[in-house]
Amino acid sequence: MRIEQDLKLGFKDVMIRPKRSTLKSRSQVSLEREFKFLHGAKAWSGVPIMAANMDTVGTFEMAKALAKNKMFTAVHKHYSIDEWAAFLQETDASLLEYIAVSTGTGKQDFKKLKTLVSAHPQLRFICIDVANGYSEHFVEFVKNTRKQFPDQVIIAGNVVTGEMVEELLLAGADIVKVGIGPGSVCTTRVKTGVGYPQLSAIIECADAAHGLGGQIISDGGCAIPGDIAKAFGAGADFVMIGGMLAGHDESGGEKIERDGKLYKLFYGMSSSTAMEKHVGGVAEYRASEGKTVEVPYRGEVQVTVQDILGGIRSTCTYVGASRLKELTKRTTFIRVAEQENRVYTPS
């Protein structure tokens, strides 16, 4: 047994220090970024905020709404080949820049991925997603996917440490997804004791990825726009959000009415709700590692998107970054023992 004594930080432990700036208005800030990839063929440009590949977040409807803002959606893996075909038929080419196909690492998953992407090679992004990205089997899966699809951009995760980021990039991933345990409906830290505070995970993993010419996605733990800004400030190339996009018209599922108020169901992809829906129950050898919650219904996602983008633009003006790309360089975090004033925040 060993104890690492370095303190690891989460979003709640820091704030971004304001800096002198020549920017007059938020409208002068560009949130678009352009990336070239380590393996994947073509460059990408857009606003690097992503909807999580959860079936109560990363739906086709969400993809259509976010693409209007040049934002990205990792579409959840439970759509059938036929549903994909119908969706691709009705949508225009520009949307393809902003969606990834998600997959697990089982034999059936690979078969489905091969069928889907071979039939629709215009699907440029593949998101290989497992809760624990530290297994050899996962690395092998990334290698095989790279062999099968030399031109596609491969996202792989989740991990939280630099050495595993490097291993995945060398195995063929372009972008590594970072985050174990910070998610709003995640119970991994409760059930297993495993995790890594997200801000430190981003700082360490971004350093490892950028050293090799790869990118990272900070995945999970953003509850407010300020957290997304902190994730970018820490060095994340992309930020993936789940809970912040749940509860909208585009989030999938039915509205639930209770005592005159409307809610929508939101659940972790390893929750018993998800496992019962998609694989007929929780297998005996495992525990569910996700929560099921009802979140207040929030209408169209565009209102939330504007709130998020406006917040990050404002962060950029506070530190004098005219482009999102400059935010990391212009960020100095301060360690804090307080966050916002919650006097008028209902508990």
Q: Which residues bind ligand 5GP (CB under 6 A)?
A: 52, 54, 131, 158, 179, 183-186, 188, 219-222, 240-243, 268-271, 289-290
Of the pair 19, 278, the CB lying nearest ligand 5GP is at 278
Assigned token pair, 347: 């508990």
Of the pair 197, 268, the CB lying nearest ligand 5GP is at 268
Residue the block writes with tokens 């086709």: 60
Intra-chain end-to-end CA distance of the chain, in Å: 40
CB within 8 A of 133, min separation 6: which ones? 156, 157, 158, 159, 164, 168, 176, 177
Nearest distance from C-beta of residue 241 to ligand 5GP, angstroms:
4
Nearest distance from C-beta of residue 288 to ligand 5GP, angstroms:
7
For the beta carbon of residue 49, count every other beta carbon within 10 angstroms.
29
Nearest distance from C-beta of residue 20 to ligand 5GP, angstroms:
33
Nearest distance from C-beta of residue 158 to ligand 5GP, angstroms:
6
Nearest distance from C-beta of residue 71 to ligand 5GP, angstroms:
14
Of the pair 173, 240, the CB lying nearest ligand 5GP is at 240
| Whole-number Cα distances in Å, 236 to 99, 158, 201, 206, 232 | 19, 14, 10, 6, 5
Assigned token pair, 193: 């004791």
Q: Tell me if 87 sits within 8 A of 79, measured CB to CB.
A: yes
Instruction: Name the residue type at position 203.
Output: I
| C-alpha to C-alpha distance for 118 and 122, rounded to whole angstroms | 9
Of the pair 29, 138, the CB lying nearest ligand 5GP is at 138
Q: Tell me if 264 sits within 8 A of 247, measured CB to CB.
A: yes
Dmax over CA atoms of the chain, in Å, equals 60
Q: Which residues are catalytic?
A: 186
Of the pair 278, 323, the CB lying nearest ligand 5GP is at 278
Nearest distance from C-beta of residue 246 to ligand 5GP, angstroms:
7
Phi, psi of 204 (to 5 degrees): -75, -40
Taken in order 22, 23, 28, 29, the sign of the CA dihedral is positive
Q: Tell me if 240 sits within 8 A of 220, measured CB to CB.
A: yes
Of the pair 247, 290, the CB lying nearest ligand 5GP is at 290
